[in-house]
Amino acid sequence: MTDSIYVPEMARLVDVRQMTTAEKLFTIELPGGRNLGHDPGQFVMVSMLGVGEAPISITSSPSRSNGVFELCVRKVGDVTNAMHALQPGAKLGIRGPFGHGFPIEKMRGKDVLFAPGGLGLAPLRSLINQVLDERGTFGRVIILYGARRPEELLFKDELDQWVARDDVECRVTVDRGDEMWDGHVGVITTLFPKVTINPRNTVAVTCGPPIMYRFVLMELLGKGIPETQIYLSLERRMKCGVGKCGHCQINSMYCCQEGPVFTYAQIKGVEEAL
């Protein structure tokens, strides 16, 4: 163990799975198979030594840890490129878990509506799977997932399972289909009219690109869900993950500490938030 909060622990890459052309799923084991001990919605700082560090949400559910955790990573820049070049058995640095995840306790007994867009499914998946593993303690579970194209859909096996389950209302859409696609076509907001909800008793959870938030929020608010019951996970540049470096500040809030999960009530009207 180190005494510096900035120094990662070297973890082992157990498995890598190509999910789409841009995203891979990484299964990682901490030294000695130690449990990461995270909440859904929290993130880790991943170090590719020599290249840099990047915040990545933990996509696996705490309820399924088995001594490993999963990250779903899109290849966009230095750190993520380097991660995509890794083979199982390789070492990578991990710090965390950091931040405030989804307050699952507050959701128990309620209906939960998940509205992830694209890569936004990665952080939400940890919560979805925990909710499903503790299915009895929640009301309805509704998942409305949108991606740009069929080949960009993440976690297809799990999506199929969710769609097949009787106790989950899962709908998937793509902005543009192809000849193989026989599902719904249209942006994610076109799924909303298809579900009716009891707004007072519903918690909504969403994550996606900034542009998506605006439209999804309109739908959720339009359905009457209270601002304090809408949760979002936000992305910011982060250089420390522990509330020092300043990059992730949204007005007075440090996204890495107070977030990355915020209620809409917390960020409403904050110009810099979305």
Partner 1 sequence: MSKPKVAFFDFASCEGCQLTVVDALQTHLDLLDAVEIVQFREAMTEKGEDYAVAFIEGSCTRPSDEARLFKIREQAAVVVALGACAHLGGVNALKNLHPLEDVRQWVYGDKAEWYETYEARPIDAVIQVDAVIPGCPIDREEFVRVVKALLLGKKPPVPDYPLCVECKLKENVCLFHLGKFCLGPVTRAGCGAICPTHGDGCEGCRGLIPHPNENAMKDVLAEAGLTVEEAVARFTMFNTYQVKDRMVEEEAK
Partner 2 sequence: MSLWILDKGAIAPFVEGLMAEYRVVGPKAKGPQFAFGDITDPAQLRLDYNITILPPKKVLQPQYERLATFTLGEDPQVEPTIEAGPTVLFGVHTCDLHAIRLLDKAFSEEYPDAHYLKRREQTIIVGLECLEPCDEHSFCKSMGTLTTDEGYDLHLTDLGPAYAVDVATEKGKTLLSQYGTVREATDADIRRLNEVLGAKWPRFTYRLDFDAAELPALLSTAYDHPLWAELGERCLACGSCTNVCPTCYCFNVTDEVNMHLTAGERLRRWDSCQLDEFASVAGGENFREARKARQRHRFFRKGKYIYEKFGELGCVGCGRCIRACVANINIVDGFNAIHGTA
Q: Which residue ranges make up the site for partner 2 (CB under 8 A)?
A: 2-8, 10, 47, 49-53, 76-77, 80, 91, 93, 209-210, 235-237, 239-240, 242-247, 249-252, 257, 271-272
| Residue 186 is a binding residue for partner 1 (CB under 8 A) | no
| Residue 61 is a binding residue for ligand FAD (CB under 6 A) | no
Footprint of partner 1 on 83-142 (CB under 8 A): 85
| Residue 82 is a binding residue for partner 1 (CB under 8 A) | yes
Distance CA 158, CA 37 (A): 23
| Residue 78 is a binding residue for partner 1 (CB under 8 A) | yes
Distance CA 12, CA 266 (A): 37
Query: In the block, which residue shows the tokens 């973890």?
Result: 11
Query: In the block, which residue shows the tokens 């982060």?
Result: 238
Q: Give yes or no for a contact between 27 and 65, defined as CB atoms under 8 angstroms apart.
A: no
Q: How far is CA 153 from CA 12, 25, 64, 179, in A?
A: 27, 13, 22, 16
User: Toward ligand FAD, which CB reaches closer, 86 or 185?
Assistant: 86
User: Toward ligand FAD, which CB reaches closer, 51 or 221?
Assistant: 51
Distance CA 138, CA 199 (A): 15
Q: Is 269 helix (H, G, I), strand (E, B) or coil?
A: coil
Question: Of 18, 81, 137, 161, which one interacts with partner 1 (CB under 8 A)?
Answer: 81
| Residue 50 is a binding residue for partner 1 (CB under 8 A) | yes
Q: Give yes or no for a contact between 99 and 261, defined as CB atoms under 8 angstroms apart.
A: yes
Q: Is 14 helix (H, G, I), strand (E, B) or coil?
A: strand
Distance CA 103, CA 94 (A): 23
User: Toward partner 1, which CB reaches closer, 75 or 140?
Assistant: 75
Distance CA 224, CA 198 (A): 9
- Minimum distance from CB of 235 to partner 2 (Å)? 6
| Residue 93 is a binding residue for ligand FAD (CB under 6 A) | no
- Minimum distance from CB of 264 to partner 2 (Å)? 17
What residues make contact with ligand FAD under the rule CB under 6 A?
43, 52, 54-57, 72-74, 76-80, 119, 122-123, 235-236, 238, 260
What residues make contact with partner 1 under the rule CB under 8 A?
50-52, 77-78, 81-82, 85
